[in-house]
Amino acid sequence: MATKSNDTYEETKLVDGVYYHQHDVVIVGAGGAGMRAAIEAGPNARTAVISKLYPTRSHTGAAQGGMAAALANVEEDSWEWHTFDTVKGGDYLVDQDAAEILAKEAIDAVIDLENMGLPFNRTPDGKIDQRRFGGHTRDHGKAPVRRSCYAADRTGHMILQTLFQNCVKLGIEFYNEFYVLDLVMVDVKGKQVPAGVVAYELATGDLHVFQGKSIVFATGGFGKIYKTTSNAHTLTGDGVGIIWRKGIPLEDMEFFQFHPTGLAGLGILLTEGARGEGAILRNASGERFMERYAPTIKDLAPRDIVSRCMVQEVAEGRGAGPNKDYVLLDCTHLGAEVLETKLPDITEFARTYLGVDPVVEPVPVMPTAHYAMGGIPTNIKAEVLSDNDTVIPGLYAAGECACVSVHGSNRLGTNSLLDINVFGKRAGRYAVEYAKTAKFVPLPKDPAGPIRDMIESIRNASGTERVPALRKELQEEMDKNAQVFRTEDSLKSVTKTIEKLREEYKNISIHDKGKRYNTDLLEAVELGFLLDLAEVVVYSARNRKESRGGHMRDDFPNRDDKKYMKHTMAYLSGDAKSDDAGDHIKLDWKPVVITNYQPMERKY
């Protein structure tokens, strides 16, 4: 184990009602990316992990299907094929240097987890078993391949538990149920650098300032901008919203992935692993309709393609059910043994939430908002960028909140659990490397002041608007007009709704005026982040007048490589470069890194 820094640290102190802490590395978020970063950083630096949840309740635990790696335990495979699938699946907006790192380091990432004790499913000869997943192919797209390493349909749960156990073993210091609400940035020689973060302690209502040499954001996604989503209630984009409010850009925010198989009307996820095991999507007449759209890999086409096909089947009158508003996932031919042993969670979900038994009847499904491809721009070292290529010293991001961009415009299935392990590890490694030579950046006077003022203004507000009603209106409008299919008119409708909700948000009030466990207060804060991020998603989507990956414009149905083979960069301040952006948002572009694979038509 490496020796930690010999620096002296101030003990936790209370000054004017605010608690102050010092750590070399401060990690915000205790999901897969945050804890993988902590495992890398903890033995080498004094590390703190701050989480709004108890770590094992983080949303990584909801991931079901698997983690991609070209182990070739079941079939011939290679990291080059994995790289190609990642680039092609992302509709060529993937930065290919990042995709190569992801695919190359995938093998070690899986072995690391195995050595930490993760109970993967096994082949008869004891190797890690692998199964098919959407978009995973051999020989650069010629046929499906078994690449997904899995633990039944609870892979994310097993990863989360394994990482947490290893953090405990290493003595990582956790601050659980602390909501980070601000990043303290300080001007040093004309550059804005991070000095620490400000957190609200749920149990007491106290404010804490965590001073750190390196700050790592690993706060997950923001799927709660939508009503129908597989995301947990806690995924309100706090980390991404904090970064946005500090004037740091966000990248490719228009690209949001809609997972094909959410329970109809609920959005609860049924893993793609079901289709990997052989489940079939059917319309009302029982037709396996994906054969018409993707004749080579059918139901295992990338998620953006499958989602659009499902919506199209319903739109053209071939939907099932009384209202013809969903399609069916047919698992009946798989048999009870496969469903109960390899897919126990989805079997239980269908029975519990819809009263449908997948063993004997097909399950109603429709796309659900699942994963944000965009987020905080980083390079391959997980360093956060203040523009196209300028590094903010000491600031890192990994996982769904970050955009490296390894997923491009559409994430390949099972690359999310891989991403959090590969780039979570890199974030921890480079954060420590920076902290070894860096000094603590002096904090400004009263660094918690802006957050204290914001909290008190919400607590004492006497307006007439209610947070749940505003949130519901935002989510329903996003579902209706900014989901799988989008047009200029639909996106303008969302823009107007957000503008109205922003005004109404100024007139909110909350029932709970207390300090201890005031979730009423925190939901009001979270709504502010949701409004910010929904607005960036919509403006970015209006500005990209093409269809690519998770972004489908009905009014611009074709991919346009001449105009749009580039990343969207959204900035909070400055004059807008696009007529579609508000006066407080500037939209710009960033080139895509292309190494080996030139853009070509996606055929499956």
The residues that are catalytic are 303
58 marked among binding-site residues: yes
Phi then psi for residue 200, to 5 deg, are -105, 125
411 marked among binding-site residues: yes
156 marked among binding-site residues: no
Print the SS3 string covering 472-508: HHHHHHHHHHCCCEECHHHHHHHHHHHHHHHHHHCCE
Q: What count of other Cβ atoms lies within 10 Å of the Cβ of residue 509? A: 17
578 marked among binding-site residues: no
Quote the distance between the C-alpha of residue 492 and its chain's center: 25
- Give the SS3 label for residue 359: coil
399 marked among binding-site residues: no
Print the SS3 string covering 267-300: CCECCCHHHHCCCEEECCCCCCCHHHHCCCCHHH
400 marked among binding-site residues: yes
328 marked among binding-site residues: no
Query: What is the DSSP pairing of strand 566-571 with strand 552-553?
Result: unpaired
Encode burial over 450-468: b for 16+ CB neighbours within 10 A, e otherwise: ebbebbeebbeeeeeeebe
219 marked among binding-site residues: no
568 marked among binding-site residues: no
DSSP string, 70-128: ---SSS---HHHHHHHHHHHTTT-S-HHHHHHHHHHHHHHHHHHHHHT----B-TTSSB
64 marked among binding-site residues: yes
23 marked among binding-site residues: no
170 marked among binding-site residues: no
DSSP string, 325-336: -BEEEE-GGG-H
Residue with tokens 């749960």: 157
Nearest to 218 by CA among 40, 11, 89, 474: 40
As to burial, measured by CB atoms within 10 angstroms (0-12 exposed, 13-18 middle, 19+ buried), residue 388 is middle
Question: HSE of 597 in the Cβ direction (CA atoms, 13 Å)?
Answer: 26
119 marked among binding-site residues: no
147 marked among binding-site residues: no
Q: Are 128 and 149 in contact (CB under 8 A)?
A: yes
Longest dimension (CA), the chain: 71
Q: Are 62 and 232 in contact (CB under 8 A)?
A: yes
416 marked among binding-site residues: yes
89 marked among binding-site residues: no
221 marked among binding-site residues: no
**What residues pair up with 208 in beta bridges, in sequence order?**
19, 199
Amino acid letter, 277: E
34 marked among binding-site residues: yes
**What residues pair up with 378 in beta bridges, in sequence order?**
384
163 marked among binding-site residues: no
65 marked among binding-site residues: yes
66 marked among binding-site residues: yes
Q: What count of other Cβ atoms lies within 10 Å of the Cβ of residue 175? A: 18
333 marked among binding-site residues: no
33 marked among binding-site residues: yes
DSSP string, 311-323: HHHHHTT--BTTT
Distance CA 1, CA 37 (A): 16
**In sequence order, which ranges of 394-518 are alpha helices (DSSP H)?**
415-437, 449-459, 467-481, 488-505
60 marked among binding-site residues: yes
Written as six digits, the tokens of 596 are: 């080996």
Which residues define the annotated binding site for FAD? 29-34, 51-66, 238, 400, 416-417
Which residues define the annotated binding site for substrate? 259, 271, 370, 411
Which residues define the annotated binding site? 29-34, 51-66, 238, 259, 271, 370, 400, 411, 416-417
